[in-house]
Amino acid sequence: MWPAILLGSVGCYAIKLLGFSLPRKVVENKGVMHVANLLPVALLTALIATQTFTSGRHLQLDARAAGLLAAVVAVRLKAPFLVVVAVACAVAALVRLVS
């Protein structure tokens, strides 16, 4: 675990430092910016999908799906960050308790 934590942490810092030293030409390249904007969307959705609907290497539908559904509703209602997370946890816990 430690090598991954250190590599990821130092790498994330290096990316930040690199940003202060890269030439302006890079930031003004449309293709680069376009990909940079879409990257977090793709990664976050893939994380949501796999962490909600899979268990190990197979698909699984359980209480977490109910939690995510509750989170979607909370986001739609423009709830603040912590409320979204708390609602998802509460609904998942409740569904697990009942089933």
Task: Find the binding residues for other proteins in span 28-57 (CB under 8 A).
Answer: 28-57
Contact flag: residue 75 with other proteins (CB under 8 A): yes
Residues of this chain, 3-32, that bind other proteins according to CB under 8 A = 3-13, 15-22, 24, 26-32
CB of 68 to other proteins, least distance (A): 5
CB of 80 to other proteins, least distance (A): 8
Strands of the chain (E only): list them.
54-55, 58-59
- Using the rule CB under 8 A, which residue among 68, 77, 98, 99 binds other proteins? 68
Nearest to 68 by CA among 48, 42, 41: 48
Nearest to 73 by CA among 54, 59, 91, 61: 91
- Using the rule CB under 8 A, which residue among 61, 77, 91, 99 binds other proteins? 91
CB of 95 to other proteins, least distance (A): 8
CB of 60 to other proteins, least distance (A): 10
CB 83 within 8 A of CB 74: yes
CA distance 98 to 13: 44
Query: What six digits make up the tokens of 13?
Result: 């810092």
